[in-house]
Amino acid sequence: MFTSSIGKKYLMALSGLVLIGFVFVHMAGNLQILMGQEKINAYAHALQSLPLPILWGSRLFLLAAVIIHAITAYQLVKENRRARPNQNYIETTKRAGLASLRMGLTGSILLAFIVFHLLHFTIRTIYPEYSEMMTVVGSPDSNEIHDVYSMVLAGFQHTWISVFYIVAMFLLCGHLAHGVSSAFQSLGFRSENWRGKLELTAKAYAWLIFTGFSIVPLLVLAQNWGIITIFDITASTETLASN
């Protein structure tokens, strides 16, 4: 099923669609930080307290999607280079957009970003002190829970990290602008009547995801520069001091 050239494209499209759906849910979850410490902490705690099979089932499912997407992309690129060996010749492009031409570049940087992001906020090896940020704010009972609100604010205190996140989301925007409609083409669900609408939807979706994700580091940066006051920095001052 997945060994032929078209079969590999099915794999790319199916794993891509899983990740396309995931980024929306992740973005919607993130935006709760704008609704305050209690809301985001409670949401994060609810996710972490999901029954183990569901929590790890979803994590492994997403991980599998990323791995399949990356390995298949590597195989496809290898075959494509073999099919058109690099020679000394003129290359002109008539229709293909920049987003479609640079899927490999944006994808590779995004893979590096995903690894960094997991080490930063999920496994927390980059700043191990994030693991000690506990609070009762947002807790369903009086037990202390992980203070995601303060961790995110602390995480974006470093300008370079915020900038890296925003740049990565811009690359994700480019990746989605081609990927979302391309996935439908690879699975055969696209026709001339639908092409324009799908391409427009893909671009709108890509910009929505970019805006939704990058607004958090952008607002933290703006607050640090004294332009706005949205976040309750006092909540995380203790950790900020130790940072």
- Using alpha carbons only, give the angle 165, 23, 50 rounded to the nearest 5 degrees: 110
Residue 135: DSSP 8-state: E
Per CB under 8 A, the list member of 52, 84, 143, 225 interacting with another protein is 84
Distance CA 167, CA 12 (A): 24
- Give me the least distance between CB of 2 and another protein, in Å please: 9
Residue closer to another protein (CB basis): 76 or 218: 76
- Give me the least distance between CB of 15 and another protein, in Å please: 15
- Give me the least distance between CB of 194 and another protein, in Å please: 9
Question: With DSSP H G I counted as helix, E B as strand and the rest as coil, what are the percentages for the chain, rounded to 5?
Answer: 75, 0, 25
Per CB under 8 A, the list member of 66, 70, 76, 163 interacting with another protein is 76
Per CB under 8 A, the list member of 128, 141, 192, 225 interacting with another protein is 192
Within 10 angstroms of residue 106's Cβ, the number of other Cβ atoms is 22
Please report whether residue 129 would count as binding another protein according to CB under 8 A: no
Distance CA 136, CA 36 (A): 14
Main-chain dihedrals φ then ψ at residue 134, nearest 5 degrees: -125, 155
Please report whether residue 79 would count as binding another protein according to CB under 8 A: yes
DSSP string, 140-203: SSSS-EE-HHHHHHHHTTSHHHHHHHHHHHHHHHHHHHHHHHHHHHHTT---HHHHHHHHHHHH
Please report whether residue 98 would count as binding another protein according to CB under 8 A: no
Residue closer to another protein (CB basis): 57 or 188: 188
Q: Which residue has the tokens 């925003």?
A: 166
- Give me the least distance between CB of 175 and another protein, in Å please: 13
Token duo for residue 207: 């910009």
Q: Applying CB under 8 A, which part among 46-54, 92-100, 200-208, 232-240 lies near another protein?
A: 92-100
Please report whether residue 100 would count as binding another protein according to CB under 8 A: yes
Per CB under 8 A, the list member of 9, 69, 120, 146 interacting with another protein is 9
Chain residues in the site for another protein (CB under 8 A): 1, 4-10, 76, 79-80, 82-85, 87, 89-96, 100-101, 103, 178, 181-182, 185-192, 195
